[in-house]
Amino acid sequence: MKCPQCGSECPDNALFCTECGTALPAAPANAPQPASAPQPAETQPQPAGYQQPAAAPQPAGAVAQPAAASPQPEAAPGQQPVPPVGQPQAPYGQPIYNQASSTPWYGKTWVIVLFLIFFWPVGIVLMWLKSCTWSKVVKVVVSVILGLCVVSYVFTVIAMFNAFSQASNDIARSDTAITAPSAPKSSLPDAGSNSKSAPDTSKGTPAPSAGTLDSSRLKDAKGNPTVYALINIDGSDLDGLLQSCGLKFDRQWQGWINDDMSRSVDLYNSLSDDVPLDTIRSLSSTELLESGDFFVSCGKSYDSLDSFASSVVNTDAQNLVFRSDDGLTGIYEVTDLDGNVYNALVSSTAGDYSLAITRG
């Protein structure tokens, strides 16, 4: 086909001239081919008496031949092939094999479940991302269940901590005695060679006879009850004395204790149980130490074990019968106003000074 404008040769199916761009007239429809004159069929001479056989009749209900599938239209040059009907079509410019949707690894169900089990804060975050395909109801239910589990865990830890603290306090209160190594008194060091503050007993201190209680010796300079007070005072007066020392009887603690719990006084029986206050009030001084042992915690207000011993062990008759090599434990033999002999153990542990009085 020639362009009517510039005369250039153009393809027959072109719509525009390739040289000047002029619109070309549509190509004429296929012209009908001139009918050729029918050619006479060549006949061969038949022998005499020959008859043409009749055409075989077609059986009724013959199966119709399937119609040929209509051919798919061919794409014009420069155009993408059109996919068959019923197949997915890719967006323009992208091949169909790249269009499969892919979920990121952090949006996969098994990843989220693992994080929820082993590291739930991250699991909660991943669960609420848009990459997670779970329904909103499921996310809310999982969040509520995890929240309840966390709250239960926190309360359990607090309860266990309180129980542990209470058990530690009970152990500290029940540990009232330190056992000294067994040795004959004759082999123990003399008081004068071990402690400057211990009284000189080489000349012997006579045991006092029963007499009147000296109220000025019931408390030391630090406000703690002395050995003199605890072995000579009756149970009916003990509560009043300890209250004057800043100690109050606690029914739950079953002992006397100050406000900051740095000082305390307890009377334990042979089973390491606290003797009730009503029982204490009904006992004399001798009966008190027959029913149990005193344990006194005096705090950190002393400079050394010697200064502590000289302050609280203030009986008329006393004798140092044991002193540890590290100077943190000492045992005194003391006598009350009635002549009864007791052991007073003084000790220092991490700067805390304590006193225990037992029957001799």
Range in 104-108, 346-350, 354-358 the model is least confident about:
104-108
Confidence at residue 231, expressed as pLDDT on a 0 to 100 scale: 93
Sign of the CA dihedral running 125, 131, 133, 136:
positive
Confidence at residue 322, expressed as pLDDT on a 0 to 100 scale: 92
Percent of the chain residues topping a pLDDT of 90:
28
Instruction: Please provide the distance, in angstroms rounded to a whole number, between the alpha carbons at the two ends of the chain.
Output: 139
pLDDT digits (tens, 9 = 90+) for 315-338: 888 899 999 999 899 999 999 988
Q: Return the beta strands (E) in 2-46 as ranges.
A: none
How does residue 4 score in pLDDT terms, banded at 50, 70 and 90? Answer: confident
Query: Rounded mean pLDDT of 342-356?
Result: 93
User: Rounded CA gap, 247 and 235, in Å?
Assistant: 15
pTM above 0.85, yes or no: no
Percent of the chain residues topping a pLDDT of 70:
66
Q: Which helix (H) or strand (E) holds 289?
A: helix 285-291
pLDDT digits (tens, 9 = 90+) for 178-211: 433 333 333 333 433 333 333 343 333 333 334 5
Query: Rounded mean pLDDT of 292-304?
Result: 91
Query: Rounded mean pLDDT of 130-146?
Result: 88
DSSP bridge partners of 274: 268
3-state helix, strand, coil in the chain (%, to 5): 30, 15, 55
Confidence at residue 134, expressed as pLDDT on a 0 to 100 scale: 87
Average pLDDT, the chain: 75
CB distance 347 to 353 below 8 Å: yes
Q: Fill in the DSSP letter of residue 174.
A: H
How does residue 301 score in pLDDT terms, banded at 50, 70 and 90? Answer: confident
Where is pLDDT greater, at 66 or 247?
247
How does residue 71 score in pLDDT terms, banded at 50, 70 and 90? Answer: low
Q: Which helix (H) or strand (E) holds 307?
A: helix 305-312
Confidence at residue 39, expressed as pLDDT on a 0 to 100 scale: 54
Q: Fill in the DSSP letter of residue 2.
A: B
Confidence at residue 177, expressed as pLDDT on a 0 to 100 scale: 38
Where is pLDDT greater, at 354 or 164?
354
Where is pLDDT greater, at 270 or 127?
127
How does residue 38 score in pLDDT terms, banded at 50, 70 and 90? Answer: low
Three-class SS state of 137: helix
Where is pLDDT greater, at 84 or 119?
119
How does residue 25 score in pLDDT terms, banded at 50, 70 and 90? Answer: confident
Q: Which helix (H) or strand (E) holds 120?
A: helix 120-127
Query: Rounded mean pLDDT of 272-287?
Result: 88
DSSP characters for 55-116? PPPPPTTPPPPPPPPPPPPPPPTTSPPPPPTTS--PPTTS-GGG------GGGSHHHHHHHH
- Which long-range contacts (C-beta less than 8 Å, at least 24 apart) are formed by 214-221? 217/314, 219/244, 219/245, 220/311, 220/312, 220/314, 221/311
Confidence at residue 98, expressed as pLDDT on a 0 to 100 scale: 46
Confidence at residue 263, expressed as pLDDT on a 0 to 100 scale: 93
CB contact set of 309 (below 8 Å; sequence gap of 6+): 195, 197, 198, 330, 332, 346
Where is pLDDT greater, at 182 or 119?
119
Confidence at residue 85, expressed as pLDDT on a 0 to 100 scale: 52
Token pair, residue 74, equals: 């061919």
Residue 225 corresponds to which amino acid? P
Residue 93 corresponds to which amino acid? G
Confidence at residue 186, expressed as pLDDT on a 0 to 100 scale: 34
- Residue 195 burial (10 A CB sphere; 0-12, 13-18, 19+): buried
Range in 94-108, 229-243, 339-353 the model is least confident about:
94-108
Range in 53-67, 121-135, 225-239 the model is least confident about:
53-67
CB distance 209 to 316 below 8 Å: no
CB distance 314 to 324 below 8 Å: no
Query: Rounded mean pLDDT of 300-309?
Result: 90
Token pair, residue 223, equals: 């406000």
Q: Which helix (H) or strand (E) holds 178?
A: none
- pLDDT at residue 296 above 80? yes
